A and B are shown apart, each in its own frame.
Chain A
Amino acid sequence: MPVLHTVNKSPYGNQALSSCLRLALPGSHILLLEDGVYAALAGHGAERPLCDYLAHSRVHVLDPDLEARGLSGRNLLAGIARVDYPGFVELCVASSKVVAWF
């Protein structure tokens, strides 16, 4: 079962996502939540490492946190799936363990 990594910080102000991407193995999953959801937006300067990761792994973004931040109508990076809190729970169930990055 894949490892689920949770990232709750914006990629601009904090190293959490970049560190996660360096240590997450192919086939793992990342869930972006809280301020981490900003990384899901298409067309931002820091998207390359996340796009590279998407080529071999899965990225999810917590929809309520997108909505909270006025991002619901914006385009996300191709391949990123929106999940709600029940979906977050399901991701945990389907993973071998959860690693938090903050």
Chain B
Amino acid sequence: MPMTRSILFLNRHAPHGSIHAQEALDAVLMASAFEQHIELLFVDDGVFQLLAGQQPQAVGLKNFAAAFRALEMYEVEDLYADREALLQRGIDAQDLLLPVTLLDRPQCAQRLAAADVVLSF
């Protein structure tokens, strides 16, 4: 690949109720090996993936969200969340399991428009 491209992972679904979140994170971790620019954008119910204190073992599911903390090690640092989506859902920045950049709607739209390729989950 001649030049760096930007891949944006669009996360719109809550964790655990469906496989979207977990298998999206698997794809992010794989993508980190390709030395491209990776961004994660959490909108709609996707912001619930970032909530601290998840205990999916309580329903026999895997605590895959722990892997979010490994992202920094893999140099995946551009994590963005829709501020309005958090607000609508009664979530504060301090409720999140790792620091993310909160964006307003126009900024979310800009990130989406700027990416070379978008993988929707």
Contacts and interface: CB of A to CB of B under 8 A. Distances in A.
Q: Do chains A and B touch in the complex (CB under 8 A)?
A: yes
Given A15-B44, A99-B10, A23 B118 contact: no
A19 interface: yes
A48 interface: no
Which interface class (under 10, 10 to 19, 20 to 34, 35 or more) fits B?
A: 10 to 19
A28 B110 CA distance: 12
Which interface class (under 10, 10 to 19, 20 to 34, 35 or more) fits A?
A: 10 to 19
Contact of A22 (B105, B113, B116, B120): B105
B117 A97 contact: yes
B97 interface: no
Given A97-B115, A99-B10, A23 B108 contact: yes
A59 B24 CA distance: 28
B43 A23 contact: yes
B109 A25 contact: yes
A23 B110 CA distance: 8
Interface in A1-28: 3, 15-16, 19, 22-25, 28
